[in-house]
Amino acid sequence: MNNQDIDLTPTSNLDSLGTRLSSLLAMIGLSQAEFARRLKVSQGFVSDVIRGIKKPGAEFLYAIKIEFGISIDWLLTGEGTLKGETQIDIPLLRMIQLQISIARKAILEKDVAAKSIMLLIQNNKLNEAVADSEIKKFLDNVEHEVEDFGLSIELYNGHLVTDETLRQRNIMASAAAYFESRTPKDPINLLTQTRPISLNFNISSNQRNAGRDYYEG
């Protein structure tokens, strides 16, 4: 019997493994084919596991742990964290809280400086403007809302395995989408809006084009 097909755990533990595996592929941004290639198994086998047709064995689960750093306990039971950490990554959590606060001010409060910073993050240009005194002043004075803590934890759990080069952009996009969903929308505008609006923000003495990714609600 192929080791990939050996069922080493009770069936009840694997009932939703396919769902977690599918979620994992979405979070790390890989297709089934690329995921299978990196694990040195067939795409068909990965597809069968996701659909619940086959039960993975120890070799397959161990390969996922080694290649992607994913907790086997989480894969099998859904319990614990994706990577099996026993301690919270405090810098990551603080970064997420800061991004949520920026998105809240940009979208719900229409704060111009927050909009500019949000767009710089989304366009991977924040490092180019980090020395700007107005940006630093704004970031130093951002306050976190208690009601956003649940969103912070949700984004933290959802981005532990995100590639670090994409993590900041993805977190900001998720936070922005969350607050966009809470703003009232004009149904006519929703039906007729066809392209994003390019916005310029002047948050200091220099005019800066923040990009084209912000949709004005």
Q: Which two tokens stand for residue 58?
A: 């120890």
CA atoms within 13 A on the CB side of 4: 16
pLDDT at 190 over 70: no
- Mean pLDDT for the chain overall: 76
Q: Rounded distance, CA 171 to CA 155, Å?
A: 7
CATH of 3-77, one of 3.20.20.80, 3.40.50.1860, 3.40.190.10, 1.10.260.40: 1.10.260.40
Give the pLDDT confidence score for residue 43 in this predicted structure: 93
Tokens of 171: 């977190």
For 40-60, the pLDDT digits (tens) are 999 999 999 999 888 888 889
Give the residue with greater pLDDT, 113 vs 85: 113
**Where along the chain do the CATH 1.10.260.40 domains lie?**
3-77
In the predicted model, what is the mean pLDDT of residues 9-25?
70
Q: Is there a contact between 65 and 72 (Cβ–Cβ < 8 Å)?
A: yes
- Give the global pTM: 0.50
CA distance 142 to 78: 35
Output the pLDDT for position 165: 66
Say how far apart CA 23 and CA 215 lie, in whole Å.
Answer: 27
Q: Which residue has the tokens 């949520």?
A: 100
Q: How many Cβ atoms are within 10 Å of 118's Cβ, its own excluded?
A: 27
Rounded CA separation 208/73 (Å): 48
CB 155 within 8 A of CB 175: yes
